Amino acid sequence: MSPDLYFALTLIVKMAITAGFVLAATVTAERAGPLIGGLVATLPLGAGPVYVFLALDHGAHFIAQSAINSLAINTVNVIFALVYALLAQKRPLYVSQPIALAVWFALAWVVHDVHWTVLGASLLNVGVIGTSVALSHRLRNVPIPRVHARWTDLALRATLVALLVGITVTTSFRIGPSGSGILAVFPIILISVQIILHRRVGGKPSAAVMANGIIGLIGFACACVMLHFTAEPFGAAIGLSLALATSIGWGLFVFAMRKRGIGL
């Protein structure tokens, strides 16, 4: 088999597997309310498979370095979710999402031009997330009507996620660990959830998922730190597993605290 054909076939498999994971997760999220929806939507369901494929192609050192920029860009995802949540209270999807995306691209450009350290990116997360949690607190508790996913919605999500995987994997050889770390955490799941929920149940319920998602992104930040420090000494497989466990563990902790009436 020629190298080009092998690459094309493996890329298709990677895109299909990732899309399948994301579909299963987002359908569950839409039926579980804004808290569970926000926590599930911010699990590394899109970035995780991309990182697995990057590890297979480039090794542990590459993903350990990429995790630093993913940690920094996590703050941009937090701001993206916050801007959308605030605008969606009174604005339609075609206004609130493009503005939030414009903010994302502008800030991502700035992040890409900075040489980040783990400490610097971590401090940035503390400041941005702390401010965003305070600003979005009043937006979280909005009930979501029962949503039944249509096949067109599922196809949209699958296509968006598959395209992200395809673009990241094919360009990672050119953009290096810094660019790959940013592209891997492009908020494709948040975007797809916004498109589907806003159109079908309104801006405020969709915004509630994003507001809760800001809490979930704390877990993603911790997962990036875990990946950076464990990928090289313990191997990519263990590092990625520990990062995933960190993100899931944070989500379970937040859910348990909310069940006890302790807000975060």
The sign of the CA dihedral 198, 89, 206, 240 is: positive
* Residue numbers in the chain where pLDDT is lower than 50: none
Residue 107: predicted pLDDT: 95
Whole-prediction pTM value?
0.86
In the chain, where the domains are located: 3-259
- Tell me which residue has tokens 């993100």: 247
Q: What would the pLDDT profile of 194-237 be if each residue is shown by its tens digit? A: 887 888 888 999 999 999 999 999 999 999 999 999 999 999 99
For the chain, the helix, strand and coil percentages under 3-state DSSP, each to the nearest 5: 85, 0, 15
Q: How many other CB atoms are there within 10 angstroms of residue 153's CB atom? A: 21
- The first and second tokens of residue 15, run together, are 């895109």
Residue 172: predicted pLDDT: 67
